[in-house]
Amino acid sequence: MADRSEDTFLIYDITESRFIYANASFEEIMKRSCEQLLNDPGSMLEAIHPEDQQVAIKVFQNLLRKTSNTLLDFRILRPDNTERWIRLKIYPVFDGKKIKYLTGIMEDDTARKVGIFSMQKLNGWKDSILEILAHDLRGPIGLVKTLTSAIERQLEGNEKNDILKWTKMIRDISHRNIELIQSLIKKETLDSSGVEVSKERVDLVWEIGEVMKIYKSSSNDTSKQFEFTWSQEAIYAQVDSMKFAQIINNLVSNAIKFSAQNGIIKVNIEKLEKTCLITVSDNGIGIPKSMQPILFNKYTKAGRKGFDGQESVGLGMWIVKLFAEAHGGTVWFESEENKGTTFYVEIPLGEVEELAGEV
């Protein structure tokens, strides 16, 4: 059955430290021969992406102490340097109380992973664009509303009643559209604030970079400057990428809201021993001391208007705290009025046991 299956079946002999079986499907996925694997078990490690090799080694070492089935995701590099995602389900076989074999079912998981990454990118784009559009539209529409009110005052008592009627219509339409923008942001925020966390091993530098690309590309419209720095080119962690992206979106959009024109928003990620630290800072108007104790509460007076008069939903910082804690992390801030604010989010990278999930 295994010989004829499209799935890849592997058997690794613990006592002899070598693979004793691999079916033909292995060659289709890996683009390497079964003979090479059976003669040189180290070739399997060499095929794994360099950034994932240490994780694979740690998980393998941990498997020798575990008695449960395990699920492992990692990348491989084929001989032609194409990258593929692999999903490996590992089942230990015991001789008494001692593990004698590790059997595995391996599949090419690239299509699913690419779909997830595309969805992450789309979700980040959607959140960022929504914030940017809200910022860009509220200003002009608010200005139209203000101008029509001024025209109405000039026309009061004037016999040109049609013009007065039209300006009132323009004012009412502007008001309704401002309320619509605000309700859309509020609904989107509420709809995405669930705390169910589905973790994947992802590169946080890439995740933040995708969000920042949207803001940087719109910097001419928002009149803000954006800087993104990192301590390493790639920093991997077990996170729910959708909720992680929303943490970044909420913090960056908040920095935009409370910064003046040509304000500077800086984002940095640093890998620590077992955690990563993300900082988002601005040189904006800061947070009054009276509001700081209640900033992370839901629907409080801390949800004030932005620098350009943007209305606040009153949920953004509450969701940042909710999602950070759902990842086992923490969030805090430092702020001084008229000098700016810096938010800190510290999230665990994930232990070896977490990197290999249960089947």
Confidence of residue 185 (pLDDT cuts 50, 70, 90): low
pLDDT attached to residue 267? 96
Q: What is the pLDDT of residues 337-359, one digit of tens each?
A: 889 999 999 999 986 545 555 55
Q: Which residue has the higher pLDDT, 86 or 172?
A: 86
Q: What is the pLDDT of residues 25-41, one digit of tens each?
A: 999 999 999 999 999 99
When the pLDDT of each residue in the chain is averaged and rounded to a whole number, the result is 80
- Segment 116-131 shows an average pLDDT of 62
Residue 7 burial (CB count, 10 A) = 14
Domain with CATH 3.30.565.10 in the chain: 113-358
346 residue type, one letter: E
* pLDDT of 131 strictly over 60: no
Question: According to DSSP H, which parts of the chain are helical?
Answer: 25-30, 34-39, 42-47, 50-63, 110-155, 161-191, 204-217, 219-222, 241-257, 316-326, 352-355
Q: What is the pLDDT of residues 51-66, one digit of tens each?
A: 888 888 888 888 777 7
pLDDT attached to residue 221? 47
Domain 113-358 matching CATH 1.20.144.10: the answer reads no
End-to-end CA distance of the chain: 22
pLDDT attached to residue 353? 47
Domain 8-108 matching CATH 3.30.450.20: the answer reads yes
Find the length of the chain: 359
pLDDT attached to residue 106? 92
Residue 31 burial (CB count, 10 A) = 15
Q: What is the pLDDT of residues 16-27, one digit of tens each?
A: 999 999 999 999
Domain with CATH 3.30.450.20 in the chain: 8-108
Confidence of residue 262 (pLDDT cuts 50, 70, 90): confident
- Segment 252-262 shows an average pLDDT of 84
User: Which residue from 88, 66, 75 is spatially nearest to 14, judged by alpha carbons?
Assistant: 66
* pLDDT of 291 strictly over 70: yes
Pairwise CA distance, residues 256 & 129, whole Å: 13
